[in-house]
Amino acid sequence: MVNNNFRISDLCHSQEKLIQHIRDKLNKHQHKEYIYTKTQWQDAAVLIPLFFKDGEAHLLFTKRTESLPHHKGQISFPGGKFDSADKNLEKTAIRETCEEIGLKKDDINILGKTDKFLTNTHFLVQPYFGSFPYPYDFKINTGEIDRLIEVPILHLLNEDFFNIKFISYNDQLWPIHYYHYNSDVIWGVTGFLLSNFLNIIFDLNKELYINPS
């Protein structure tokens, strides 16, 4: 375990090593769809954005405004629903990221994708993982985004800041993953997608509980 922790720390302090590691893991991953019920859904996509700050790997999250129709006030990855003008879901993730936080598409290096997840608001979300240069002159869409949150990956891997609670919704028991960072709490759909990503990349075993197809 000590050796594995040392290896993960080494990866998180080397941009070249971590990017190659992530690319390799995502290329080899057998993709799944976490669909808990038969229903109609809208396709959507998000970007899990990676950057290096002060020599350490971070992920970028957005704090959504209270005026949005879905997941208002929650901490999310940038993204949104598929548009007919998008060629594919990767284009959706990039477009929404550009619109929400002002990343330019040429600055986003897509490394691969993780597993799809059906939300309880009936969006089938496809996450993509991409890196971008830092520091960056973000252009935040204040109608959708309240602020940005930069979280070190090593913090997210610290079990002292992670817990699971169960809630009942629509006659189903849901495991909700919570990540605590300062005064912010990453949970809900984003917590699940984050746990799934960490499982894939770092060979963890955070229980997701929902049987994938």
The 10s digit of each residue's pLDDT in 100-130 is 999 999 999 999 999 999 998 899 999 999 9
Would you say residue 207 has pLDDT above 90?
no
Give the pLDDT band of residue 212 (cuts 50, 70, 90).
Answer: confident
Range of the domain at 19: 2-202
Mean of the pLDDT values across residues 180-202? Answer: 97
pTM of the model: 0.94
Mean of the pLDDT values across residues 145-158? Answer: 97
Residue 125 belongs to a domain: yes
Residue 212 belongs to a domain: no
Residue 134 belongs to a domain: yes
What's the token pair of residue 62? Answer: 């957005």
Mean of the pLDDT values across residues 75-96? Answer: 97
180 secondary structure, DSSP code: E
Residue 190 belongs to a domain: yes
- In 39-198, DSSP assigns E strands to 42-53, 56-64, 75-76, 79-81, 109-113, 116-118, 123-131, 145-152, 162-169, 172-181, 184-186
Would you say residue 180 has pLDDT above 80?
yes
| Helix residue ranges, H only, the chain | 2-12, 15-28, 89-101, 153-156, 188-202
Give the pLDDT confidence score for residue 72 in this predicted structure: 63
SS3 156: helix
Q: Which residues pair with 117 in a beta bridge?
A: 34, 125
Residue 209 belongs to a domain: no
What's the token pair of residue 91? Answer: 């284009």
Domain count, the chain: 1
| CA-closest candidate to residue 161, choices 148, 178, 175, 176 | 178
Residue 95 belongs to a domain: yes
Residue 211 belongs to a domain: no
Query: 168: domain CATH number?
Result: 3.90.79.10
Would you say residue 46 has pLDDT above 70?
yes
Give the pLDDT band of residue 71 (cuts 50, 70, 90).
Answer: low
